[in-house]
């Protein structure tokens, strides 16, 4: 069953909780499809009035900020041994090459690595724990974490929600042409934002490349 089809079967409060939980766990350092859940939920909100996009965005933002903060605390306490353990458990996400590239990003960009890391799938997973391991001052991390969480979670919810609204309206007026144009506009805006983020924080390279 597709994610969105499954979400349609659960009550709104469960959707809010699921979005906050999945994004929180992903931000904490557990590889989960937080962005997929958020996009599917925002699109569902545009089609069903019982899901409030403002509440949805707030839950996503809260999950992102809280999860990253917990990840920071764990990383600060666990240190390098934590990265070694994560590398053994999740080699595709926490391999030596990924961590080394992420460390270079943190060294070069500092707070911006945490902020723009929200828009890069791999960095979004371990920006919090890595910031803790590298002993980034918490006040700097908190500012970047809060702003990044608001822009990424709130922005993604708003863009997908309004794309869904426009798509539905245009679909009634212009059939598939309206839907295609609405989707192209929404996807293009998201890709532009992601490209800017990747330019600021390069994607970690796999060891041996």
In a domain, residue 204? The reply is no
Has residue 58 got a pLDDT over 50? yes
The pLDDT of residue 169: 55
Total count of domains within the chain: 1
What is this structure's pTM?
0.71
In a domain, residue 144? The reply is yes
Min mean pLDDT across 2-16, 53-67, 128-142 is at 2-16
Residue with tokens 């939920």: 41
CA count, 13 A, side-chain hemisphere, 33: 6
Please state, for a pLDDT cut of 70, what percent of the chain lies above it. Answer: 69
In a domain, residue 206? The reply is no
Per residue in 141-190, pLDDT tens? 999 999 999 999 998 898 888 877 765 554 445 444 544 555 565 566 65
Has residue 90 got a pLDDT over 90? no
Q: What is the mean pLDDT of residues 18-30?
A: 90
In a domain, residue 136? The reply is yes
In a domain, residue 99? The reply is yes
Among 53, 52, 54, 66, CA closest to 22: 66
- H helices of the chain, in order, are 3-7, 12-28, 34-47, 53-89, 91-94, 96-109, 111-117, 121-133, 138-149, 155-174, 176-200
The pLDDT of residue 105: 72
In a domain, residue 12? The reply is yes
Domain of 116 in residue numbering reads as: 3-198
In a domain, residue 207? The reply is no
In a domain, residue 209? The reply is no
């Amino acid at each position: 069953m597709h994610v969105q089809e499954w979400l349609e079967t659960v009550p709104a409060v469960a959707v809010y909780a699921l979005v906050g939980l999945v994004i929180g766990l992903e931000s904490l350092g557990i590889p989960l499809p937080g962005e997929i859940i958020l996009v599917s939920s925002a699109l569902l909100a545009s089609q069903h009035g019982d899901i409030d996009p403002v509440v949805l965005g707030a839950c996503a933002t809260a999950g992102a900020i809280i999860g990253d903060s917990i990840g920071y605390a764990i990383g600060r306490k666990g240190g390098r041994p934590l990265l070694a353990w994560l590398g053994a458990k999740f080699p595709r996400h926490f391999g030596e090459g990924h961590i080394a590239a992420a460390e270079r990003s943190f060294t070069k960009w500092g707070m911006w690595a945490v902020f723009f890391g929200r828009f890069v799938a791999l960095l979004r997973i371990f920006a919090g724990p890595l910031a803790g391991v590298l002993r980034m001052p918490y006040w700097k991390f908190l500012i970047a974490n809060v702003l990044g969480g608001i822009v990424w979670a709130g922005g993604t919810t708003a863009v997908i929600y309004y794309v869904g609204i426009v798509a539905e309206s245009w679909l009634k007026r212009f059939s598939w042409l309206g839907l295609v144009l609405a989707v192209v506009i929404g996807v293009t805006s998201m890709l532009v934002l992601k490209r800017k983020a990747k330019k600021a924080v390069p994607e970690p390279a796999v060891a041996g490349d």
